[in-house]
Chain A
Amino acid sequence: MFASGNSKPTVGRMVLLSALLHGAIVLGLWLGDVFAARWAPAPKQVMTARLVRLGPARKPDMLPTLAAPAKPNGPKKIAPQVPPKPPAPDAAAAAPVASAPSKADSLAARAKTQSALERLRKIAAGAPDGDEAGDADSAEAGERYYALVKQCTQDHWVLPQGLSPALLAGRKGLVLLRIDPTGKIINYRITQKSGLQAYDSAMEYAVSLCKKVPPPPPELRQGLRTAGIEINFEP
């Protein structure tokens, strides 16, 4: 297909072309390095880590020193609540009755079953996500949910510094809020003022920042939407 007169230098041309291409790539990489070094931002000052040697202990009659300032805490986060696992089905309840017993046998069997059920209930008391210090065998879904709402507002419960303890002693205020089935706070209002403007503003602030909580359990939805939750804010 090729003219016989042009085939001989083809290999040489290919080698030359390859060499040029490779050379161009290498050159490009080298030039890129050079320009990047020129335009790259100046490196930050290198920090030197030093370990201070242990000095003499401070005598107890010497004046105190200022402690190193603590690092600021990051924004508070509400830990995601793992939904409780459904309780394991009663093993005794699943056990089939082998045969039709007599009446006396039935009564005895029933008593035996019931005592077995009782033992199982005691073993199942508590929850995998319970607390070591918990003293309740279980918590209703409502109690868990109210704790979530409390945690949400607790995180934003901030009062102006400088309020004297005498001014705060015994002070409290109430805010009523309603929650829709999706967990959105529909509205809120102060139902009992604290008598201090900053305190009232702080209560509203805490609730306003808690815009949404997890959807309530079905048995609470109606009540939360109509009657709502009343939060008692104390200093």
Chain B
Amino acid sequence: MLLPPPRRSTFLFLLAAIAACGTASQAWAKKHQPVRITVKGAEFRAYPVAVPDVTAYPDGDSRAAAAAMTDLLRYDVDLARTFELVPVNTYLADNKPKAGPPAYGAWQATGASGLILGEARVVAGQMTLALRFDDVTAGKTLLTRTCSAAPAAGARCVHQFLDAVIAQLTGEDGVFSSRIAYVRRVGNVKAIYGADVDGGNPEKMVQSGALSLLPAWGAAGRALYFTSYIAGGSHLYRLSTPTGRIDSVSARQGLNVGAALSPDGRRVALTLTVDGNSEIYVMDVDGKNLTRLTNNLALDVSPTWSPDGKRIAFVSNRSGNPHIYVMQADGSNVRRLTFRGTYNQEPDWSPRADGFIAFTARDESLHYDLFLVHPETSEMIRLTQDSANNVSPSFSPDGQSIAFVSDRDPNNRGQVYVMDADGQHVRAISPGVTDCETPAWGPRLGY
């Protein structure tokens, strides 16, 4: 039996009821929406990370490997500017590794925000290292990595893991895959060496027995430019880091020194005296298409590129004393940058877009120290003081750290040090490796 069609009044009543319900529900939803407040102005601090002992299988080789990896993890966490190592003596007894999830509450009580756990096992000379990074606040694992390598090569596993953790936390890769090249005098010969950023895996990079100076990394770290007297004169060479092959890049008359690669890796700025005076030139990486940028009776040396490749900072004594100058990459618009001090040199431009230029300056006590100068405002900041001589700054690829040479340790003069870009947390990367000069912090090499 069919129902009779609804009356018009009924239909209108239903419409009104639906509209009323909709309005009421909207009003209810609005009334019960959470209140929103804004919190801004965060404080920036190092991310505290706890690193308990890496566990080991119960055999001698595994235990030794675990101990070595524990030491390396703690050293590198302490080295990384993003992290702060939670002191080991604050770890509570029940934080020792055991089966089951970590006691996040207890770790949080030590002040840790992150936790690194590891397990090492050595079988037939091969180490398997399992590492894990936990967010203590959230109480969950964020990252796990397992690496297999000889125990002596375990550093690569640790570096790769830490770079991944830093990338996860900050959105930017860590710099543990990069290397620092430096000149070291051994006996009567100065040669170019390289080491990890924590000083590990040191090696002689340029095998030539000739005097080699002023290393400068090429793009992606596959080439290292340096000045050497291989052929008797001060010429510019390029070392292919994968193959070890050395090629001549510039053998022009006079000096060919102080190479600096452009950010895009296509051009080299350097100092030549081919025209009778020290001037800044730019050429292609193969040495062709030479362009002179400066034309001044003064000495113009030590070029360094801005991160966008549009400007070059350099040293000139055209005002009477060596000071830092800036010019466009075509040599135009030369502008003096430093007006304080009497002997400013060795500029290195930070790779960060908002970064400063680091340089060496001699102060009134005739000691050399490191400074920063803003490329626009000439604002100057001092980084070192009252620590003997500190020279030759070189920024890390993320611009957060600076490598330099110091003789602050009277028993180990000329060691390579690394510090935060604000001058804090100074530490020697290779304690006992002395008589070093002009460190050059290379790009990330990846894994």
Interface residues of A (CB under 8 A from B): 60-66, 142, 146, 149-150, 153-154, 157-167, 174, 176, 196-198, 201-202, 204-206, 208, 223, 226-235
Contact = CB atoms under 8 A, between A and B. Distances in A.
B400 interface: yes
B229 interface: no
Contact of B400 (A159, A162, A165, A230): A162
A230 B400 CA distance: 34
Contacts of A229: 34-37
B385 A65 contact: yes
A198 B354 CA distance: 22
A230 B46 CA distance: 27
Contacts, number: 142
B20 interface: no
Interface stretch (B167-175, B210-218, B264-272, B290-298): B167-175
A229 B385 CA distance: 49
5 contacts: A62-B340, A66-B384, A154-B39, A162-B170, A164-B352
Contact of A162 (B82, B135, B168, B382): B82
Contact of A176 (B34, B44, B113, B138): B34
B170 A157 contact: no
A58 to B, nearest CB: 9
Task: Say which size band chain B's interface belongs to.
Answer: 35 or more
Nearest to B384: A66
B45 interface: yes
Interface string B180-195: 0000000000000000
A234 B40 contact: yes
A204 B82 contact: no
Given A157-B43, A159-B44, A165 B34 contact: no
Contact of A63 (B82, B113, B138, B364): B364
B236 to A, nearest CB: 32
A201 B137 contact: yes
A67 B244 CA distance: 47
Given A61-B340, A196-B170, A205-B113, A160 B46 contact: yes
Given A201-B135, A229-B34, 17 more contacts: A63-B382, A157-B42, A157-B43, A158-B44, A159-B43, A160-B169, A161-B45, A163-B172, A164-B352, A201-B169, A208-B137, A223-B34, A227-B33, A230-B36, A232-B37, A233-B39, A233-B40
